[in-house]
Structure 1
């Protein structure tokens, strides 16, 4: 395992805990120096052409995992709908989601044209019928 892969793994293991702690702490208790996460959040939701097909879902998830190899990706989380309370504001109609973190807009732009991302799209686009992307920047 390369040093950058090792660093990325450590980040992935600690980022969730740090983000959770920051979210739970009062704003006055979290200084800018205590928790520093990448600025850009790229959230993507996929609806499969064959909803409920485990093989298709697994293939999409495997493809998404390859995106961690892109140097501008500073964090990655792949998920499926959670069994949370059903409410009007919750849309859990998607099959698979991913959240990628980037240090800046340039890093996210670079990701879009990176060969690993283009290969992912080429290999997996036949699996989905709909994709929705939400990009946000920390304030």
Structure 2
């Protein structure tokens, strides 16, 4: 029992130490006031969810969006193999997170010819898309 308490104490102390190294949102925004403020997250469900070819083709298309001037950052992801919990939805096949300075930048992206071409050339791959837009605080 004493070993278990000691291990728990060591683990808790390590976690607290690591957490103290992370900046708070306010600190991060103050330290880097030029960080993009609008976060555009998109989740794609493919018609053929088991097709690596379709997944890779979509990723290729998403990468082409990096060329749009108002896109300040772009991260493409696949579902993580994390713990199964009721609040975790990893039923999608591909995700992308884009950063914009503001809503005007995101609006410019939506009508940009490269984005329009992306939708035209790749939309046949997905059966569902969900978008979450948020503003950094």
Q: How high is the TM-score relative to the length of structure 1?
A: 0.79
Structure 1 gaps, min length 5 = 1-20
- Structure 2 partner of 1:83: 81
- Structure 1 partner of 2:97: 99
1:70/1:114 contact within 8 Å kept: yes
Matches of 2:30 and 2:43, distance apart in 1: 31
Establish whether residue 27 from structure 1 lines up as the match of residue 24 from structure 2. Answer: yes
Q: Which has the larger radius of gyration?
A: 2
Matches of 1:95 and 1:81, distance apart in 2: 7
Change (3 A) 1:121 1:22: farther
Q: How many residues align?
A: 119
- Structure 1 partner of 2:53: 55
RMSD: 2.3
- Structure 1 partner of 2:39: 41
Per the TM alignment, residue 35 of structure 1 is displaced from its structure 2 partner at its CA by 2.8
